[in-house]
Structure 1
Amino acid sequence: MLSNLINRQVLREALLFAFIGLVILTLIPFGSVTPFPFAFAAIGMFTLGAISALLVGEPRQSRWVFSSALLILVVVTGWAFIQIIELPSNWLANPAWSAARDLSGVEYAAISVEPADTLASILSVALPFVTFLTGLLLCDTDQRARKVLTFLGLSAGGIAVFCLLQFSLFPKILIVVEKHAYLDSLTAVFVNRNTAATFLGLGTLLMLTLVRDIARSYTNHPPGEPGRNTLVLKSWVYVLLLCACFTALMLTRSRAGIFATFVAALIYFPWLVINWNASRRHLRPAPRWHSMLKLLSAIVFVVLLLTVFAGQAILRAQERRLEDDDRFCILPGIWRAISDHWLTGTGLGTFRTVFSAYRDPACGIFGIFDRAHNFYLEGFLGLGILFPIAAILVFSVLARVFWQGLAQRRRLRHYVLLGLAATVLVALHAAVDFSLQIPGFAVFFSAFLSAVVAISLGRNHGEADAAI
């Protein structure tokens, strides 16, 4: 029986490391936006999720989150399938099919104006959900959840170091190919600097957490005990990776990405400063004015960082006003498209086809908008009223998770704040960009969320390891 338990433990750890490795691999080839890497990531994650579900079973503490995420996935993908089928008497069919029938005699009619694109987009929606569900299955203890966050943070730091070296030495090369866009900006392993900024902002928050944890471990480690020198080395490595993530973030020159990161930092960093020694029971509670002074100092520090290091992004914001940005010029056209199809949508993944009919000539004739540069509006246009309902449900679930985590966790409460701050970062930037629509980042963020949700809702039970 003991050997059986050991084998199960080894298998569980192997699944966890396979999960982490697959998440990191999905990032590297330009965020897996091309078909082959995306197919590899999808097949791998779906297979890993199925194996984990069979061997591990439904998670305990996060069961209701697991069920909610699975329900949302089933409803959204089910509605996308309904959008591509031909309903009786052309019920709810898009009016474009009537015009197609008059012009070319097409008999097919559905909600989606591009059924093939909608069908292909279902996999893009399912992949991050399956990643999140798989993460909940495997992160059944605090230790495993922290292991996931540690490797995600270190991978972000490692990618930042590599990209800083490449941007300095070979600025016209992106990984192994010639770079054609954003030659003046660091884009990490992505093509778009805004996606890179979201990723590096999240990496900065993760590395800040790892630096905090290793620093506390060092200060709690008595001098002369074995392992202290190792902690010193790890501390310096973590600080270096934190600086690399922050520097790379600044070099993206992404206005919205940097702004969203600093909003998240204003949520997270002051709390870290105030509660640096909160879990030490032998310390007396500090006077209230001490906490206020720390809070103000942390806020001032974050603002000074923005002022000193975000100069290029601030300069871009001053040179190019919002009304001159094409992303904001096309917003009225997107709203008109949504108002015409708010109930059923035009089909998941059909923005490029639909928006061309609503594009304002005043926005210029150059370029093709295949993204709305707004995750929420594009989702609303594609899925109709179902999307805002699903989005509200997702944010409600996360809000309840973080509230419960803040109320119940003590020593690991900073991980709950990390999850809250990162969610704010990604949610804010999604309003002006499409980072969540890049498979690599979507998978990375989903894995991150699964770990912080597991920490927020659970405690490390010894019997969890044996319950497989």
Structure 2
Amino acid sequence: MVTNAQATARVDAAPAAPDEAEPPAPEAEPRDTPDPSGGARVDASPSRRRSRGPFLVLLITVLLASVPFGAVLQWTWSLVGVIIAVLILVWSVQVIRGRRRVAVSAAAIWWAILPFSAAILWAAVQSWPEVAPAWSHPIWRLAAEALGQPLPGAVAVNPDAAMVGVTRLLIYAGVFWLALQYGRSRDNAKLAVRVTAYVLAVFAFYGLAAVVLGSGSTFTYDNPSGAGTVTSTFINRNSYATFAGLGLLCAVAVFMIELDRKNESGRDERERREILVEWLLGRGGVLLLVIALIFGSVLLTQSRGGLLSTVAAVGTLVLMLRRRESESRWRRATVLAPAAAATLLVPFLFLGGGGTSERLKDISAEDSRLRIFATTVDAIADRPWLGTGLGTYEQVIRLYDPEGELVGLKRAHNSYLENAVELGIPAAACLVTSVAALGILCFAGFRRRRRDRYIPAIAVAAVLQLGLHSLVDFSLQIPGVAFLFFLLLGVGCAQSWNYGDARR
């Protein structure tokens, strides 16, 4: 583990920006602050002007990427990859030319980068031809015998698919790295959270409108989940439920922080009550509507895993952000806000709450999912260390289904098992460990910080949400969901250090 002094010595020690009520301070020239441990130097005053433009491009790219079917089409995530590569190039040139500092160095999170890099390296090795004949998948020998000619074997059943998987993981890593660097600015981090909440409310409105109008379609494609099910711009309702859940975390966090501020304003109890009511009738009411829209859309996806994981994540976030003081005015406010939100949710319950309730009671679908899990475990047992190649699950699982009961199966509906099949247990464990380690960093940052601690708290809740949903589905393997998740995780990690740490 890295000590506080070692980690924070490598982190950009940007001073906290003034409160919104104060006039903005004049922008200072970038300067170096000596590392208290005598090691690397940290930039104590990064230029917000130089970071806002690229960060806006990153934010817009990530949010709009999900418009065409959750970015599952190759041209969509490939275009995002090109934009991310250009942004990293711009950032690198700025660093090399001394126009900006490295906000958070790789050394500060080496314990997360190391296992992720190991998983990426192994996934690339799987696609190399004849890297080690003894490691090649048996299917290459069978194919050579059937064709009557030698074939260059590989660990991966499909080397091309493995390299596509590697490319996508590198794009996700690029999104995280850019969010980590630009998200060190408080202004950028707060902007990311607020914009995500409002934009995902638009996604929710589109999905709900499609259901109300009776089309239920995603653009020109019919909704495979049924006309009464919300999928918004996604094809799969479970994936949209996870995507919307991330937006709900942002909306709930912003609402709670603003509610807290209004609850502390005013000279006396009467004035505080008036300010609170006025806020709820204005900006607070808009935030409640955003929360109701997003949660209503999650409810009407009729996704059991998506709904339960979202509720668990939101509940965790609320518990983390609750004020520790048991003031009577805070208790009254926390009763008033949920009551208003529940009132706004009533129309969604009439619209399709019954379908969600029936889905939660129905366990017949679990039999087929358990059969998928059992077959997947058999595939893992055959190659527990080497795997079959990233992105090859659909092809490999057919070898373990001679009776054709799983025809058309593309995913294991459990990302942990699917990764173990494709990467092997060690590399899959490295991949999970890297994300879990970043989640722990954000939790430590939440405990350490006093200002804007809701930002790392959102990242912690997002890790919990995706971690739970990955037990029964594959939402994190959908590019649109992964882009937003790693953006929020990067911003949360960036805000896990404070200025005081760097100076001590």
TM-score by length of 2: 0.78
Pick the aligned partner of 1:36 from 75, 81, 84.
75
Of stretches 14-23 and 449-458 in structure 1, the one that deviates more from structure 2 is: 449-458
The 5 A counterparts of 1:364-375 are 364=405, 367-375=407-415
Q: Assess, with a 3 A threshold, how the Cα gap between structure 1 residues 39 and 352 changes in structure 2: closer, same or farther.
A: same
Aligned to 1:282: none
One-letter amino acid of the structure 1 residue matched with residue 296 of structure 2: T
- List aligned pairs for 1:269-308, cutoff 5 A: 269-272=318-321, 274-275=322-323, 285-286=325-326
Asked whether the equivalents of residues 348 and 382 of structure 1 are also in contact (C-alpha less than 8 Å), the reply is yes
Is the deviation greater in 75-84 or in 447-456?
A: 75-84
2:478 aligned with 1:438: yes
The residue aligned with 1:345 is 387
Contact between 1:69 and 1:133, CA under 8 Å: does it hold in 2? Answer: no
427-436 or 145-154, which deviates more: 145-154
Q: Measure, in 2, the Cα distance between the counterparts of 1:169 and 1:185.
A: 12
Structure 1 contact 257–429 (Cα < 8 Å) conserved? yes
Cα separation, 1, equivalents of 2:210 and 2:150? 52
1:357 and 2:396 aligned:
no
Distance 1:7 1:394 in 2: 28
Q: Does 1:315 align with 2:315?
A: no
Match of 1:121 among 136, 140, 165: 165
**Alignment match, 1:92:** 135
Q: Distance in 2 between matches of 1:460 and 1:245?
A: 37
Cα drift, residue 54 of structure 1: 3.1
Q: CA deviation at 1:184?
A: 3.0
Distance 2:319 2:194 in 1: 21
User: Cα deviation per residue 1:348-394 (whole Å; 9 max; x = unaligned)?
Assistant: 11111110011274x836x4111111111111111113333313522
CA distance in 1, matches of 2:222, 2:358: 27
**Counterpart of 1:12?**
51
Aligned counterparts of 2:239 and 2:195: Cα–Cα separation in 1: 20
SS state at 1:368 partner: coil
Q: Which residue of 1 aligns with 2:223?
A: 179
Which digits, 9 at most, give the CA deviation of each residue in 1:157-186, with x for residues without a partner?
121122212221142321344434433310
- Report deviation, 1:219: 4.4
Aligned residue pairs: how many?
448
Q: How does 1:212-223 map to 2 (within 5 A)?
A: 212-220=256-264
CA contact (8 A) 1:214 1:234 kept: no
SS in structure 2 of the partner of residue 436 of structure 1 = helix
Alpha-carbon distance, 1:297 to partner: 12
- Alignment correspondent of 2:23: none
8 Å contact kept, 2:458–2:488: no
CA distance in 2, matches of 1:217, 1:88: 60
CA distance in 2, matches of 1:337, 1:244: 42
Q: Bigger CA drift: 119-128 or 440-449?
A: 119-128
CA change 1:144–1:381 in 2 (3 A) is same
Instruction: Describe the SS at the equivalent of 2:390.
Output: coil
Instruction: Name 1:206's counterpart in structure 2.
Output: 250
State how far apart, in whole Å, the 1-side matches of 2:183 and 2:382 are. 43
- Please give the residue correspondences for 1:15-414 in structure 2 after superposition, counting only pairs within 5 Å: 15-56=54-95, 59-60=102-103, 63-64=106-107, 66-87=109-130, 90-104=133-147, 105-220=149-264, 233-272=282-321, 274-275=322-323, 285-286=325-326, 311-321=354-364, 323-324=366-367, 326-359=368-401, 361=403, 364=405, 367-414=407-454
Q: CA deviation at 1:103?
A: 1.1
Which stretch shifts more, 68-77 or 4-13?
4-13
Query: Is the Cα contact below 8 Å between 2:112 and 2:438 reproduced in 1?
Result: no
2-structure distance, mates of 1:342, 1:296: 51
Q: Secondary structure at the match of 1:195?
A: helix
Give the C-alpha shift of residue 337 in structure 1.
0.5
The one-letter amino acid paired with 2:304 is R
SS at match of 1:349: coil
Provide closer, same or farther for how the CA distance between residues 335 and 128 of structure 1 changes in structure 2, counting only shifts above 3 A: same
Extract unaligned runs of 5+ from structure 2: 1-26, 31-44
Distance between the aligned counterparts of 1:34 and 1:214, measured in 2? 38
One-letter amino acid matched to 2:90: I
Q: 1:342 to 1:216 in 2, by over 3 A?
A: same
In structure 2, give the amino acid aligned to 1:92.
W
Q: Report deviation, 1:301.
A: 12
Is the 1:62–1:136 Cα contact (8 Å) retained in structure 2? Answer: no
Equivalence for 1:466: none
The CA distance in 2 between the partners of 1:270 and 1:293, in whole Å, is 16
Whichever residue aligns with residue 172 of structure 1, its letter is G
Give 1:244 shift: 0.2
Q: Which amino acid aligns with 2:197?
A: G
Checking the alignment, whether the CA contact within 8 Å between 2:393 and 2:411 is kept in structure 1 is: yes
Relative to the length of structure 1, the TM-score reads 0.84
- Partner SS, residue 457 of structure 1: coil
- Distance between the aligned counterparts of 2:170 and 2:400, measured in 1? 29
Work out whether 1:457 is the aligned partner of 2:497.
yes
Q: Which has the higher helix share?
A: 1
1:320 CA displacement? 3.5
The alpha-carbon distance between structure 1 residues 405 and 62, as it changes in their structure 2 partners (threshold 3 A), is farther
- The 1:296/1:24 distance shift into structure 2, 3 A limit, reads closer
Q: Work out which structure has the larger RCO, using CA pairs closer than 8 Å and 6 or more positions apart in sequence.
A: 1
Checking the alignment, whether the CA contact within 8 Å between 1:24 and 1:444 is kept in structure 2 is yes
What's the CA shift string for 1:217-258, capped at 9, x where partnerless?
A: 44455579x9x9899632222111111001101000001111
Contact preservation (8 Å) 2:183, 2:494 = yes
Q: 1:83 to 1:39 in 2, by over 3 A?
A: same
Structure 1 residue identity aligned to 2:183: C
Q: Offset of 1:84 from its aligned partner?
A: 1.6
Q: Separation in 1 of the partners of 2:448 and 2:132?
A: 54
Secondary structure of residue in 2 paired with 1:386 = helix
Q: RMSD of aligned C-alpha atoms?
A: 3.9
Cα deviation for residue 39 of structure 1 reads 1.5
**Aligned equivalents of 1:181 and 1:311: distance in 2?**
16
Q: Residue 145 of structure 1: SS of its match in structure 2?
A: helix
- Alignment partners' CA distance in 1, 2:291 and 2:334: 22
Compute the displacement of 1:459 (Å): 4.1
Cα contact 2:136–2:154 (8 A) shared by 1? yes
Question: What is the CA distance between 1:135 and its match in structure 2?
Answer: 0.6
| Percent of paired sites with the same residue | 23
Give the Å deviation of 1:91.
3.0
C-alpha separation in 2, matches of 1:60 and 1:9:
12
